[in-house]
Amino acid sequence: MTLSTATQRDNLLNSLLPELGQLIPAQSIITKVEQLHAYECDAFTTMRQLPLLTVLPETIEQVQHVMRCCHRLEIPVVARGAGTGLTAGSMPVEHGVLLGMSKFDQIHDIDLDNRTALIGPGVRNKAVSDAAAPHNLYFAPDPSSQLACSVGGNVAENAGGIHCLKYGLTVHNILELEFVTIEGELITLGCAALDAAGYDLTAIMTGSEGLLGILVKIRVKLLPVPASTRVMLAAFATIEDAGNAIAAVIGAGIIPAGLEMIDQTGICAIEELMHAGYPVDAAAVIICELDGSIAEVEDELSSVIRIFTDLNATDIQIAETAEESTRIWAARKAAFPALARLAPDNYIMDGTIPRRALAQVWKQINQLADQYQLQVVNVFHAGDGNMHPSILFDSSDDDQHRRAFELGTRILELCIEVGGTISGEHGIGLEKINQMCLQFSATELQQFHALKQAFDPKQLLNPGKQIPTLARCAEFNAMHVHHGEMPFPHLERF
Amino acid sequence: METVAARQRPITQAQSTDLTIDQATNQTQALVDQVRHAYVHQQPLMITGGGSKSFYGRSVEGDQLSVSDYRGIINYEPSELVITARAGTPLHIIEAVLAEEGQMLGFEPPHYTPHATLGGAIACGLSGPRRPYSGAARDFVLGVTMINGKGELLHFGGQVMKNVAGYDVSRLMCGAQGTLGVLLDISLKVIPQPASEQTRILSGNQKQIQNLLSKWGRLPLPISATLFHNDQLYVRLSGTESGTHSAALSIGGDQIIEDQLWQQAKELQHPFFTSEQTCWRLSLPPAAPEIPEYLFKNQLIEWAGAQRWLYSEADHCNIIRWAENNGGHASLIDRNTSDGYTLFHPMSTGLMALSQRIKKSFDPAGILNPGRLYPDL
């Protein structure tokens, strides 16, 4: 920290602290640098920044007060849930306030007749389903981090999970959002009914990564727990066979609750850690979960077995007990810890592609991996086209670090080329902000900025994240020339 | 991207009115030019499609901007569960093409007339009987190509199920009735048609039925529509053959052969709707209390209690207040063909101010369907 930034920090603290103190108890304000380190990053740990201070508000009034103070003094505010984000979305801003929402962890109401729960944004994802479980209800979005991640974070990122194809993303599973604007005003979006008057602003708020407002209350939908759930694991000798099998299941009119695919390196890594009985000689495995009434699931199960058999499955395991199902899923959910054993660092991508392009993209990713001399493991939400290629590298080797991030960009370019997107569920944050310049034109980015302006004219909420400035894109595109030419020459340039 | 799309499209589905790629490009340019011209001259535009939902909103004064000739399916691959089509494509054509592949639009959009277009369905954001079980129009929107109020051609979202790159502008367009942009190309998620479907009828008063519906809502039953009117509850079950059969046993009642009921409910053609009077639509939490008798003369309840249609002579303010106090909202609909209109529930001051700023961010000159939703938007 240079002297001038230290002075600037002191000055800001001197003007902000007395104002905050009018309504926020001292124990809810953290200013000691050694304590602030706990808030310097989210789960994307390669990007870190200390905030000016952290506030842990307990009431809506306190959130409003923080926002009013920061608005008046023009101090940036970054909201944080459980810090499990993968894109540095809640990384603090230098000289900005980090607003930790962990104390908003109350489940206010579970409305059984309307199948909704009214909760604070700090409630953990899994805690909602746990609270609803005695009533045979659950909250559908289930990102792999569901034990730890908060629903506020789920809304901010529009989190998905393994059951999205059938049950949707977070945006499909919330009804009402209460948020505080940067000016400190409390606004309710949506309502307890299935639609609301005016613009669909719950859709805009969901996935806005803390750039538009601070969530303080969320009404989520609860769904009845299916009467029956069956899980199966099928092995295939080629990626093409597995891809065809997935297309055939969907083509047959079956929407599985979960449809996952893992490549051979992934299978071996998982098997070594979990000993779940995954076939290590297969080129790919598909995990398929079917749910519904007992009768429905049995109908669909026999159809899926027939399809997989006809399409050259080399092995099909059907879980006969709840324990066997759990074993298959637990191994899949342990994919990332398993990969972590293969290399010191692991860069997880989140591109989504139309399923038809799967085999082609998979092959091209492997070619790119060879070219960059890095190993890539593919774990794939196959049902909805969301790929999670994982680049294994060692960040202590500068050259490997650089190659890993370049390879990541190339993979995301591939996703855009086949009609997909750079992020299916992890969000943009800071991690993928440059790649936004590849997916969107200057006018589209300007439209995003104009929309942000409608909520936050002074650009104080999570500044610098999610939507790149045109200047940043100009710089990125100037540097990002490959094969001697600009990518997507038909796109408007900066 | 469009050349790829055109190649993928099965020839058998071509319609004589579909545009070629060149024609679509030219039409897009013409629409962009018209909006840009209107922006420069601050001349309001009234966006039209097939005119089937012109009563759904307030009247707009402005030069007509018609997208009804901008039509054709751009891309449809059943195994992707995604269809992309131009806004002027008639809804019935889209539904026929999907049906050929055993698929459907999960939100069962109302048509109201045979001229209904895809663009109008999404702009109005209306959903049919399947809404509480499969989702609303906005839940199925994956991406749009649109023109904003400055005449800029923009793409948001895409053709994939999961996409969190940037703000979810595509869904925001759903229900915005053209006040934020002119919709051109729309990508939607589609769903498989159920293998088996049956309708059952049960009798009871509203309280009994509401309790039953609440109980069923907590059970994993394959219900896909409900309608309650004159102490009779109609329930549609959709799923596999054995799935609907076993559900029928658990809900009881009698099976009826009723092939018109759901179509009539969706199109507001149920005998209940034949009245010439203005009709209220209340959107409520499904288990909201019974509406007090002094507020209505006759009612029909759909969506397991979440959508209630009323004929009423009560004071407007009383109905609006009751809906709001019970967690929902109310709109007043007049479907007279010549000068029909719909009045939407008033918004809070803060929300209206925010909505106005959002409108301005897309349409700084206020030329796109001004006043269609609210006088100030």
Residue A494 inside a domain? The answer is: no
Which residues of B fall within a CB distance of 8 Å from A116?
285
> Which A residues 240-269 touch B at CB under 8 Å?
247-248, 250-251, 253-255
User: Is A344 in the same domain as A460?
Assistant: yes
Digit-coded pLDDT (tens) for A224-240: 999 999 999 999 999 99
User: Is A262 in the same domain as A173?
Assistant: no
The Cα–Cα gap between B371 and A380 comes to 46
Residue A488 has pLDDT above 70, yes or no: no
Identify which of A219, A205, A259 has the alpha carbon closest to the alpha carbon of residue A386: A259
ipTM: 0.95
Q: CB distance B175–A195 less than 8 Å? A: yes
Q: Which of A290, A315, A337 is the last residue of a domain?
A: A337
More confident residue, A383 or B309: B309
What residues have CB less than 8 Å from A265, skipping those under 6 apart?
A342, A375, A377, A378
Identify which of B238, B220, B216 has the alpha carbon closest to the alpha carbon of residue B305: B216
Q: Which amino acid is at A85?
A: G
Helices of type H across B63-156: 91-100, 118-124, 131-134, 137-140
Identify which of B57, B59, B93, B71 has the alpha carbon closest to the alpha carbon of residue B27: B71
Digit-coded pLDDT (tens) for A31-44: 999 999 999 999 99
Which residues of A fall within a CB distance of 8 Å from B360?
454
User: Is A453 in the same domain as A347?
Assistant: yes
Which residues of B fall within a CB distance of 8 Å from A134?
none
Q: Cβ of A459 under 8 Å from any chain B Cβ? A: no
Residue A492 inside a domain? The answer is: no
Q: Which residue of A has its CA nearest to B178?
A: A199
Domains in chain A, number:
4
Dihedral pair phi/psi, residue B191, rounded to 5°: -125, 160
| Host domain of residue A367 | 339-479
> Which A residues 108-127 touch B at CB under 8 Å?
111-116
Residue A243 inside a domain? The answer is: yes
CATH number of the domain bearing residue A192? 3.30.465.10
CA of B265 vs chain A CAs: smallest distance (Å): 18
The Cα–Cα gap between B283 and B175 comes to 15
Domains, chain B: 2-192 (3.30.465.10), 196-334 (no CATH)
Give the pLDDT confidence score for residue B369 in this predicted structure: 98
Report the residue of B164, B168, B362 to disrupt the A interface, i.e. the one with the largest count of A CBs within 10 Å.
B164
Pairing outcome for strands B45-48 and B63-66: parallel
Digit-coded pLDDT (tens) for A59-76: 999 999 999 999 999 999
| A204 three-state secondary structure | helix
CATH number of the domain bearing residue A470? 3.30.70.2740
Residue A485 inside a domain? The answer is: no
Q: Which of A337, A368, A383 is the last residue of a domain?
A: A337
Q: Are B47 and B368 in contact (CB under 8 A)?
A: yes
User: Is A39 in the same domain as A94?
Assistant: yes
Integer CA distances (angstroms), A402 to A48, A347, A394, A405, in order: 18, 12, 10, 5
Give the pLDDT confidence score for residue A295 in this predicted structure: 86
Q: Are A144 and A151 in contact (CB under 8 A)?
A: no
Q: Are B295 and B312 in contact (CB under 8 A)?
A: yes
Digit-coded pLDDT (tens) for A122-170: 999 999 999 999 999 999 999 988 999 999 999 999 999 889 989 999 9
User: Is A10 in the same domain as A87?
Assistant: yes
Reduce the secondary structure of B1-61 to three states and give it as a string: CHHHHHHHCCHHHCCCCCCCHHHHHHHHHHHHHHHHHHHHCCCCEEEECCCCCCCCCCCCC
Give the pLDDT confidence score for residue A3 in this predicted structure: 59
Q: Are A284 and A260 in contact (CB under 8 A)?
A: no
Dihedral pair phi/psi, residue A264, rounded to 5°: -60, -40
User: Is A238 in the same domain as A333?
Assistant: yes
User: Is A300 in the same domain as A384?
Assistant: no
- Which residues of chain B have a pLDDT value below 70? 1-16, 275
- Residue B142 is given by DSSP the state E
- Weakest-pLDDT range from A210-214, A415-419, B133-137: A415-419
Predicted confidence band of residue A480 (pLDDT cuts 50, 70, 90): low
Residue A487 has pLDDT above 50, yes or no: no
Question: Is the four-CA dihedral A438, A439, A444, A450 of positive or negative sign?
Answer: negative
Identify which of B116, B73, B138, B57 has the alpha carbon closest to the alpha carbon of residue B368: B57
Q: Are B286 and B132 in contact (CB under 8 A)?
A: yes
Give the pLDDT confidence score for residue A71 in this predicted structure: 98
Identify which of B127, B124, B118, B126 has the alpha carbon closest to the alpha carbon of residue B184: B118
Query: What's the rounded mean pLDDT across residues A30-59?
Result: 96
Which residues of B fall within a CB distance of 8 Å from A221?
none
Q: CB distance B80–A355 less than 8 Å? A: yes
Pairing outcome for strands B82-86 and A97-100: unpaired
Residue A265 inside a domain? The answer is: yes
User: Is A258 in the same domain as A160?
Assistant: no
Give the pLDDT confidence score for residue B258 in this predicted structure: 75
Q: CB distance B243–A295 less than 8 Å? A: yes
Which residues of A fall within a CB distance of 8 Å from B369?
none
Query: Which residue reads 């790119």 in tokens?
Result: A368
CATH number of the domain bearing residue A305? 3.30.70.2190
Q: Cβ of A226 under 8 Å from any chain B Cβ? A: yes
User: Is A359 in the same domain as A303?
Assistant: no
Give the pLDDT confidence score for residue A335 in this predicted structure: 84
Residue A391: enclosing H or E segment and its boundaries?
Answer: strand A386-393
Tokens of A314: 């080399």
Q: Which residue of B has its CA nearest to A295?
A: B243
Q: Which of A306, A337, A368 is the last residue of a domain?
A: A337
Digit-coded pLDDT (tens) for A244-284: 999 899 989 999 999 999 999 899 999 988 888 899 999 99
Q: Are B140 and B103 in contact (CB under 8 A)?
A: no
Digit-coded pLDDT (tens) for B344-374: 999 999 999 999 999 999 999 999 999 999 9
User: Is A370 in the same domain as A318?
Assistant: no
Residue A489 inside a domain? The answer is: no
Integer CA distances (angstroms), B81 to A252, B18, B76, B96, B178, in order: 11, 22, 8, 15, 26
User: Is A345 in the same domain as A470?
Assistant: yes
Which residues of B fall within a CB distance of 8 Å from A443?
152-154
User: Is A13 in the same domain as A59?
Assistant: yes
